Amino acid sequence: MDLVIPRQYFPKNTIASQPHQLHVFADASPLTYGAVAFLCRESDVSFVMAKSRVAPLKQLTLPKLELMGALTAAKLCNFISTAFKSLSCSIHFWTDSQIVLHWLRGEKRNNVFVAHCVTEILAVTGVDSWRFCPTGDNPADLLTRGITSSQLKSSTLWNRGPQWLPFHTSWPTWEFSPTIELQALAITATDFQPSTSVSPESTVSVVGNSPRTDSQAPELLSAEMTWVKQCQFEVYSSELTNLTSKSPSQKRTTLIRQLRLFLDVDGLIRCRGRIHNAPLSSATKFPLLLPPKHMFTSLVILRTHTQLFHAGTNATLTVI
């Protein structure tokens, strides 16, 4: 099968003095990351070049690979701009990773790897030139996901980019908002009914990852324990009844025997493990029992995952 890529970007009858736009799309997958560039002039779009890299042997999280894809896009743009010295054009970068966009725009200190990549990207690009692109409209997704040669030949997304690319008014929009996650969690928090002795603001703050000051910490901890007790009551009512029973003939449930469950002084269900003699805190040696499919459990995991800057599963579970 012959795959032909024209060397001439635009038809001869078009006016060369018309403004040009260089669009670079970035994407990543667990196996590879890369970028693809297009040159636009009025309604004409032409494929320029693409570059991909195999993912490192050391396993990285997908957001970090997406960030490396963005770095590849920045370097690819720098190479093309050097080759097109005499061509004046506006430059736009596209990624389908909102985490990358937050890293590029956020002021919060990141870990060394992320901070280094962000610094390198912003050294050659402007933060306002980065935009969000839906995955289905990202031609770099074909680069990282892989397609057959026949699909590549007939793909208009690969050869000419997304349909909306020449039309500025049709470009996808995305607004950076560092408070959007807190708002989403606050709405979800209304599903719970904590004790009236705990203020709603405190309950939202626990899940919304609000900074804990010394004056707030006891109230926030009380709110969090109230939520734990509430979801345990909803899901493990039979285990609570069994554990509170003082009848010697009462047979323990399977879950109690398997996890060696017991009630602490606050009436919360905790698990016994093999590290009960370790020099650790009681909360670490005897973790709380949380239902795996409960909304509160999901929020706890999401909060920890966000605090760790979207670290892997093992790191998140270790901190929890």
Write out pLDDT tens, residues 139-167.
999 989 888 888 888 888 988 899 999 88
Write out pLDDT tens, residues 109-136.
778 999 999 999 999 999 999 999 999 9
- pLDDT exceeds 60 at position 15: no
Task: Please report the pLDDT score of residue 17 as a whole number.
Answer: 60
Q: The domain spanning residue 142 has which CATH number? A: 3.30.420.10
13 lies in some domain: no
88 lies in some domain: yes
* Domains identified in the chain, total number: 2
175 lies in some domain: no
Do 151 and 51 fall within a single domain?
A: yes
Task: Please report the pLDDT score of residue 139 as a whole number.
Answer: 93
Do 187 and 263 fall within a single domain?
A: yes
Q: Which of 106, 137, 170 is the last residue of a domain?
A: 170
User: Closest Cα to residue 75, out of 100, 59, 46, 52?
Assistant: 52
Name the residue range of residue 53's domain.
Answer: 20-170
- pLDDT exceeds 80 at position 291: yes
Span between the terminal Cα atoms of the chain, in Å: 54
82 lies in some domain: yes
51 lies in some domain: yes
Write out pLDDT tens, residues 196-221.
443 334 444 444 444 444 434 677 77
Query: For 66-70, 133-137, 220-224, 258-262, which range has the lowest pLDDT when averaged over its residues?
Result: 220-224
Do 35 and 157 fall within a single domain?
A: yes
Task: Please report the pLDDT score of residue 117 as a whole number.
Answer: 94
Segment of 94-103, 270-279, 301-310 carrying the highest mean pLDDT: 94-103
**What mean pLDDT value characterizes the chain?**
80
Q: Which of 170, 196, 228 is the last residue of a domain?
A: 170
Task: Please report the pLDDT score of residue 73 as a whole number.
Answer: 96
Task: Please report the pLDDT score of residue 16 as a whole number.
Answer: 56
275 lies in some domain: yes
- Token pair listed for 114: 């992320």
Segment of 16-25, 119-128, 221-230, 253-262 carrying the highest mean pLDDT: 119-128
Determine the Cα–Cα distance for residues 38 and 24; give it in Å rounded to an integer. Answer: 6
Q: Which of 125, 144, 170 is the last residue of a domain?
A: 170
Do 119 and 218 fall within a single domain?
A: no
Do 164 and 193 fall within a single domain?
A: no
Do 162 and 207 fall within a single domain?
A: no
| pTM score | 0.55
Determine the Cα–Cα distance for residues 281 and 285; give it in Å rounded to an integer. Answer: 6
